[in-house]
Amino acid sequence: MGRKNKEYSKNLHQQAFERLRDMQAFGVSKKESVVDGTSKDKIFAYKTYEAYWKHTKYFIKYVQEKHPECTTLKSAKQYMNEWLQMRTEEGKSSWTIHLEAKALGKLFGIDPSDENYFQPPKRERQKITRSRVDRVRDKHFSKSNNDELIKFCKGTGLRRSELLDLRGKDLITRTEIEAEISQFEKLQEEAHDPNRERRLDMLRDTRMFQGEYFTHVRCGKGGRVRMSPIIGPNAEQIIERMKNTAPEEKVWQHVSENADIHGYRAEYATAMYKAHARAIEDIPYDRVNKGTGRKFQGDVYVCRKDEAGRKLDKAAMLICSKALGHNRISVVADNYIRGL
């Protein structure tokens, strides 16, 4: 009675939740969506969705507290840059601000190239606070009690979520990989299958790596699948633990929240790089600058920003990037390779 003709009003929290929920496209090809122009309205990975929703809720809470008269997403959009500026002034890391800008850009359909897109502070190596210095939470983490976990992480390079998803069946040998490659190559001759081709490309990537054992990451960042080589002086211990875990059982039932997983990944990445990198002076001058006519080393990556001038082997960076589950070698240079 009386409500029949009244429009149901959803609060900001519900509006934002439904907007991001409707963008979920887990398992959909990002590359194909970019080509057909539909990627702007899609979120391709559950982890990305989780992160966007987490920071969107912070923004919604701010609007509800500071601008209670605002009841729609359309009207909340005007406070996006105001909130991001406040977060910057609060001292949030440039990495956090970048993530929050992307989350709200997705929520409101604002592209980074748009003139109204908030310009976060530049992300630089010296501003990365995690894993670089002792933190308060380190005081609550016993390295001796977690010795096996630390060694496992440094030898596999897995993310926290990947560690928690890892099962006994995810220990894979090179022999098994090569057998699957042979099987797929035969099938490819018979019929074209995009999913099979992606799987085959991932399997062939293992030929970049040394070693005989790999962890099968079934759902990494962005939903990507990969094989990461098991390396280092504790490889046998890691392999033994996985062999002693039943196929469907978790290798790790619990991973301490205080464990510096990113730091262990960085040590793994640095070890991978060192194992494959050539001396810079040994990399051939195989490219020619069209403007000057001078030869230069096409396989040499020159760092910028705070690491300006440092040179790295692109081929080794690519191997390292594949092992970590990243697509861009610049991510490896900026975040993982240390102490060379």
Residues 141 and 235 grouped into a single domain: yes
Domain that holds residue 226: 136-335
- Residue 138 pLDDT level (bands cut at 50, 70, 90): low
pLDDT of residue 215: 98
pLDDT of residue 1: 43
pTM (predicted TM-score): 0.66
Residues 246 and 293 grouped into a single domain: yes
Report the share of the chain in percent with pLDDT over 70: 91
Tokens of 1: 């009675």
Give Dmax over CA atoms of the chain in angstroms: 83
Residues 234 and 85 grouped into a single domain: no
Question: Does residue 229 contact residue 206 with C-beta atoms inside 8 Å?
Answer: yes
Q: Is the pLDDT of residue 50 over 50?
A: yes
Of 123, 147, 168, which residue constitutes the final position of a domain? 123
Which residues have CB under 8 Å from 196's CB, separation 6+? 184, 187, 188
Average pLDDT, the chain: 87
Of 93, 123, 153, which residue constitutes the final position of a domain? 123
Q: Is the pLDDT of residue 7 over 70?
A: no
Choice among 15-29, 87-101, 125-139, 197-211 with the minimum mean pLDDT: 125-139
Residues 165 and 205 grouped into a single domain: yes
Residues 216 and 326 grouped into a single domain: yes
Q: Which long-range contacts (CB under 8 A, 24 or more apart) does 1-9 make?
A: 9/71
At residue 173, the 3 state secondary structure works out as: strand
Question: Does residue 209 contact residue 268 with C-beta atoms inside 8 Å?
Answer: no
pLDDT of residue 8: 47
| Cα angle for residues 123, 112, 309 (degrees, 5° grid) | 35
Mean pLDDT computed over 283-307: 89
pLDDT of residue 208: 94
Residues 314 and 246 grouped into a single domain: yes
55 in a structural domain: yes
- Alpha-carbon distance of 194 to 198, in angstroms, equals 6
- Per the structure, the count of domains in the chain is 2
Residues 105 and 167 grouped into a single domain: no
Residues 83 and 148 grouped into a single domain: no
- pLDDT one-digit tens code per residue, 171-186: 999 999 999 999 988 8
- pLDDT one-digit tens code per residue, 8-46: 478 999 999 999 999 999 888 888 888 888 888 999 988
Of 59, 88, 123, which residue constitutes the final position of a domain? 123
Residues 47 and 157 grouped into a single domain: no
Residue 279 DSSP one-character state: P
145 in a structural domain: yes
pLDDT of residue 35: 86
- pLDDT one-digit tens code per residue, 52-81: 999 999 999 999 999 999 999 999 999 998
Q: Is the pLDDT of residue 162 over 90?
A: yes
Q: Of 43-47, 116-120, 181-185, 268-272, give the range with the top mean pLDDT.
A: 268-272
Mean pLDDT computed over 313-325: 95
Q: Is the pLDDT of residue 150 over 90?
A: yes
- Residue 122 pLDDT level (bands cut at 50, 70, 90): low
Q: Is the pLDDT of residue 206 over 80?
A: yes
3 in a structural domain: no
160 in a structural domain: yes
Residues 183 and 245 grouped into a single domain: yes
128 in a structural domain: no
- Alpha-carbon distance of 51 to 160, in angstroms, equals 15
Q: Is the pLDDT of residue 132 over 80?
A: no
131 in a structural domain: no
Tokens of 133: 């210095």
Mean pLDDT computed over 258-287: 94
Question: Does residue 340 contact residue 232 with C-beta atoms inside 8 Å?
Answer: no
- Alpha-carbon distance of 169 to 243, in angstroms, equals 8
Tokens of 171: 């220990």
Residues 29 and 116 grouped into a single domain: yes
- Beta-bridged to residue 24, according to DSSP, are 43
Residues 71 and 164 grouped into a single domain: no
